Chain A
Amino acid sequence: MKLRPGEEVEVAYGPAFGTDDLHLVELEENILQEMLRNGVHIKGEPEEEAVLCTSSKTYAVKFVGSSNTMFIMPEESQKESRGSRGSWTGAQALVTFAAPGYLELVETAPKLDTLKTLLSRNRYDQNSEAEELEQEKIEAGAIDEDDGPQSPPESAQELFSFEDLLERVQASEQELREALRVLNAAEVNGKWRLVDEKYMRMLLDMILCTAVEHDWPLSALPEEPLVSAMHSDGYSKHMVRHCLRTCARLSGEGQMGEKEKTDAAADVTEEPSDMDVDEERRGGGMPGGSGRGSSKPEKVWALHSETVCLHRARQLLAATGSKWRLEDFMEAWAQDLPVGMKPDRSLLRGEALEEKVGGEVWLRPFSAALLPAKPAERFDVLFQQKPRWHWEDLEPYLKGLKTPGQSIEALLLKFTRKSQPTSDQPAVYSRR
């Protein structure tokens, strides 16, 4: 409503004043546009604080009260008053409601705890694999190909599809996908699962063994033959594929060859897993060979050498659980690696701490992955481990602490004391 100079309108309570349940939300223009074009969501269980999710971000919703009176009126107020009893016959602006305040959005980190809680109730491990293979046998026995996946055994009750998770977890679609990728979750028959670490390590070991057995180079693992070879040894096809997606990248004639980012996220989002399911059901008992499968270019995967190196390093560190002399460790590590892969000391950042004892460097296993997520607890554990930290040692252990509105710098100020004897010496962080 914009009045021209000299123009007058009567402002009055509208005929429906106060009858609608109306709310104001203050928005950045980009969120407003997304809201108008595609819609956004308010999410939260009754016991949670509500958040607003766009397709890519999560915002906390805060109510900002005001002692001012805010009269809200639609544009298309009546131009002429019906003016039966009143003296006014000119244009009228009718107030629809008086707002007690408005809702404000503050960008916030997605609440991923819920996701972890939901998914960790039912991790995929060897038992799940056994169940899955059992189920496959039953389905192979059934004649009808078009049968949807029959409701699998008990464990299926606590499984979640992407939509289920999107509804329950206070995160945007993009943040949820990213979180599933970071957690290395796998989609099995349309349900997202966390994969048991031990099981995953065993699977990677088996892939390495199978590659040696068939004389496949680790930089060119053919997907179908590998999957069916391992399937006949009693490993889940889904999981072998999942392992490839997380530990390897497509190479050779993979359809996504020209894409820069062929990481797990891209694979997961661009290849709906029903395709896998589909292929598998057609494949039935005959490994590797359906008409459709062979007409497609063979997918070839290159194992990330860092993943394999790190995998072996973790095994070594876990095996003894005690300190290693760096030289000894590097030697043992190199011996454990497949031909052509070299150990890289920088990979140990966040896995083990280097300590100088006399003239020698020692490694002490200390995994960043096992640290608590809350900043106060995390710093507590860190300073228990070691009272004084140099930045380069500390940095890998701070991963995942940064959230919108909470920078690493701010956390360091809050939880550490930084000291620097002289300007040319590196700074040291100690407990505050």
Chain B
Amino acid sequence: MLAPIRCECGICAEWTMIELQGEIDVQGAFKNEMQNLRIGILCQTPTEKPILRIGYHELEGSRVVLKKALAVLRKIKLPPTAGQQIEGGSTRFDVVGVIRQKYLFKTRPRPLISKPEPKLKKIKAG
């Protein structure tokens, strides 16, 4: 079985990655409607250190160029055509983006006391 990987445009748009240690736990009530939910605010400080604020917490990170690029592939299941005997049809991958750098946050979160926000850790953004 052969699944082609290809790119429609030939030069793919650059995508971005934000990497965090551990995971973000979405409150139960929002688990099923995460679309459009705010994660946090990413900001570039004048000292070159990017900062990610999640609720009351702040993470300090860095912008890292990846040693090897990551390609973002979209898997597409093609419905079986009439003449095809292969069960379930064939598969195709489209390259939709290329990631060459990431914002990496590997420190523990630091609580923000000076700037308390009125809302809870997870708030629903527009």
CB of B72 to closest CB in A, whole Å: 6
Q: Is A3 an interface residue (CB 8 A)?
A: yes
Q: Mark B85-99, 1 if CB is under 8 A from A, else 0.
A: 000000101011111
Q: Which residue in chain B gives the minimum CB-CB distance to A166? A: B2
Determine the interface band of chain A, counting residues with CB < 8 A from chain B: 35 or more
B112 in the interface, Cβ–Cβ < 8 Å? Answer: no
Q: What is the minimal beta-carbon distance from A57 to any residue of chain B, in angstroms?
A: 14
Q: Residue-by-residue, is B75-107 near A (CB-CB < 8 Å gives 1, otherwise 0)? A: 110000000000000010101111100100000
Answer whether A10 and B125 are a contact pair too, CB < 8 Å, given A20-B74, A72-B99, A75-B14. yes
What chain B residues lie within 8 Å of A377 (beta carbons)?
none
Residues of A close to B22: CB separation below 8 A: 67-69
Total A-B residue pairs with C-beta atoms closer than 8 Å?
195
A377 to chain B, nearest CB (A): 30
Least distance between B125 CB and chain A CB atoms (Å): 3
Contact A36 to B17, CB < 8 A, known contacts A6-B46, A14-B35: no
Interface size class of B (residues with CB under 8 A): 35 or more
Contact A44 B1 (CB under 8 A): yes
**A81 vs B34: C-alpha distance in the bound complex, in angstroms?**
16
Q: What are 24 sample pairs from A and B whose C-beta atoms fall under 8 A apart?
A: A2-B63, A3-B44, A5-B45, A6-B44, A6-B46, A9-B41, A11-B38, A12-B37, A13-B37, A16-B35, A22-B74, A26-B69, A27-B70, A35-B7, A36-B95, A38-B6, A42-B93, A71-B18, A72-B16, A75-B13, A75-B15, A93-B42, A99-B17, A102-B70
Q: Which of A153-202 contact B (CB under 8 A)?
A: 166-167
Q: Indicate if the CB atoms of B35 and A10 lie closer than 8 Å.
A: no
CA of A205 to CA of B41 in the docked complex: distance in angstroms? 81
> Taking A3-B43, A11-B41, A23-B75 as contacts, is the C-beta distance between A35 and B6 under 8 angstroms?
yes
A183 to chain B, nearest CB (A): 22
Which among A82-90, A114-122, A215-223, A382-390 touches the partner chain? Answer: A82-90
Q: How far is the CB of B13 from chain A (nearest CB, A)?
A: 5
- Asked, given contacts A11-B52, A13-B39, A41-B2, whether A4 binds B13 with beta carbons under 8 Å apart, the answer is no
Docked pose: A24 CA to B123 CA in angstroms: 29
Chain B contacts for A1, CB-based, 8 A: 16
Residue of B nearest to A76 (CB): B13
Q: Are B70 and A93 touching (Cβ within 8 A)? A: no
CA distance A15 to B63 in the complex (A): 26
CA distance A68 to B124 in the complex (A): 23
| Residues of chain A with a CB closer than 8 A to B50's CB | 3
